[in-house]
Structure 1
Amino acid sequence: MTNPTVIIPGVIFFSYRSVISKEKVAFLEHNTLVLQVSGRFSIETANEKISMGRGQMLLIQKNQLAELTKTPLEGEDYQTIVISLKEDLLRKIVLEEQIEIGQKYTGPPNILIPENEFLSAFFQSVIPYVRHPDERITNALGMLKVKEAVHLLLYTMPELEELLFDFSEPYKMDLEKFMLSNFHYNVPVEKFALLTGRSLAGFKRDFQKIFGMAPRHWLQERRLTEARHLIETKQKKPSAIYLDLGFESLSHFSHSFKQKFGKAPTEWSSIHH
């Protein structure tokens, strides 16, 4: 069983693997709590890398692009419980509890949650749901579990209130800096627009101003230039880099490379090795 089992649709998932897996691009749309049952979980974004093992918990802020690596360790499979903290549920908690929403959250986007007895007990209480996915657990009960998770997170780290209850749209971030850090992710231009807090039209307009060309064209150029750099200076093989640079296939990469530089990447690498 490698696919996540859905415990509560859209909210609680259980993922189990017996082999290592790497997800090149995950777009994390919701705030997400990851409970590591066994094995190792790593998340790498443009700015940071965090790993955690058995018994640890990580809160991941929404609207991030990341690489996820899931690794079974010797003697233990990879198992994780993922709880999606969706905005409608968080809004409901704010309304029910009359929580004051503070200013925009500006802290770190990924936070390892320090262990305590309450959270450990919560963790244990979710495991039976996972062990018996075929039992008819009602969604109402599942939602109570998710609410409990939110309350325990706030009890453990009150400062998380700003992260969890930040409903502002992603602000217009520095487009140039964002694109230079994230150009290698193979996601549609629409997603880049969303992540920088712009409509598609606004994104294309700002992009043209900054880079002097359309986003698709720039992405292609930037990825090919980076590929040439890696082949020339790092002696990387074309087959080892095309996916990391956001190309769909090796043939598409080779064709585009040859169009731009006049030689196929394999010829280029034999000249520069």
Structure 2
Amino acid sequence: MDYQVNYINPEIKLSNYTGRLFKTEAAFNDHLLVWLISGETKIIQADESFVFGPGSTFLIPRNQLATIINIPKDGLPHKAVAMHLSVKRLRDFYDHQNVTPKTAASRILSFHKHPLLESCLASLIPYFEIQENFPENIASLKIIEAISILRNIDPDIDSILASFDDPNKIDLISFMEKNFMFNMPLEKFGYLTGRSLTTFKRDFHKAFNITPQRWLTKKRLELAYYQLTEKNKKPVDIYYQTGFENLSHFSFAFKKHFGHSPTELQRIKTQ
């Protein structure tokens, strides 16, 4: 198997990937604290991108739309420990704290090779070899330890970890124009804009006078056309950046829309 995941419990896992690359698009329900042991992780968001190498520790806040690409490197697999910091866990933790967090935009945080976090997450590795069920009280202690360390090294992190509200209803047009390239279910787009699926579809049609599925496909293909013709990027390098699940689906949709496959278009442009 190219991709293997071992669990201490549902909230703590060790992943080991040996294929060419592994891509996923996500807006996680939990905050995700990651310690990268080997390999490379690229995170692409609408406004910025990140590249993390071995020894990096980073936090992906919940409800952050991102494309995440995990790549083996230097002859080693992509190997990482990931800890979910769920709303329930954080509520329980902050019930015992006297905290009034300031409002701040969630953002991906890097704690590059911080010894306290590295030590905390590295201490989990022996537990993955235990075959029987991992004691919940120990898992809970490890998660509390991680939260406490995060608060110790970043005094502003309460603004992220102690914020438990669902997304508010926001401007649909600006959000979708900014995030159309992320291949999310419509239910997730609705949730992130503070809407039920029914309300999302209704508001979307009012705003764009087209169904979400058709609009998303059109926008993604237009972005792909720009990347191919203006940036001279290869189809294999852009299909996942423009919201398509695989290269064959991208090529089929592109030819149907523009009359030429991506490679045919590039050949025509260079003549």
Q: Give me the TM-score of the superposition, normalised by structure 1.
A: 0.84
Distance 1:114 1:239 in 2: 30
Structure 2 alignment gaps of length 5 or more: none
- Tell me what 1:140 maps to: 137
Question: How far has the Cα of 1:248 moved from its partner?
Answer: 4.7
- Tell me what 1:7 maps to: 8
Select which of 175, 178, 188 maps to 2:185: 188
- Secondary structure of 1:153 counterpart: helix
Distance 1:41 1:251 in 2: 24
The 3 A distance-change label for structure 1 pair 133 and 174 is farther
- Secondary structure of 2:69 counterpart: strand
Conserved 8 A contact 1:5-1:133: no
RMSD: 2.8
Conserved 8 A contact 1:31-1:86: yes
| 2:70 is aligned with 1:70 | yes
Q: Identity across aligned pairs (percent)?
A: 35
Distance 2:249 2:38 in 1: 39
The 3 A distance-change label for structure 1 pair 81 and 252 is closer
Conserved 8 A contact 2:4-2:15: yes
Question: How far has the Cα of 1:78 moved from its partner?
Answer: 2.6
- Tell me what 1:170 maps to: 167
Any residues of structure 2 matched to 1:18-97 within 5 Å, and which?
18-74=18-74, 76-95=76-95, 97=96
Task: Kindly tell me the number of residue pairs found equivalent between the two proteins.
Answer: 269
The 3 A distance-change label for structure 1 pair 22 and 178 is farther
Distance 2:76 2:264 in 1: 44
Conserved 8 A contact 1:104-1:168: no
Give per-residue Cα distances to partners, 1:24-44, cap 9 Å, x unaligned: 413322101101223322322
| 2:210 is aligned with 1:216 | no
Question: How far has the Cα of 1:15 moved from its partner?
Answer: 0.8
The 3 A distance-change label for structure 1 pair 91 and 71 is same
- The farther-off stretch of 72-81 and 10-19 is 72-81
- Tell me what 1:203 maps to: 200
Question: How far has the Cα of 1:268 moved from its partner?
Answer: 4.2
- Tell me what 1:102 maps to: 101
Give per-residue Cα distances to partners, 1:134-190, cap 9 Å, x unaligned: 254212211111111111111221211110010111123343232223222222222
Distance 1:62 1:127 in 2: 24
Structure 1 alignment gaps of length 5 or more: none
- Secondary structure of 1:29 counterpart: coil
- Tell me what 2:122 maps to: 124
Q: Give me the TM-score of the superposition, normalised by structure 2.
A: 0.84
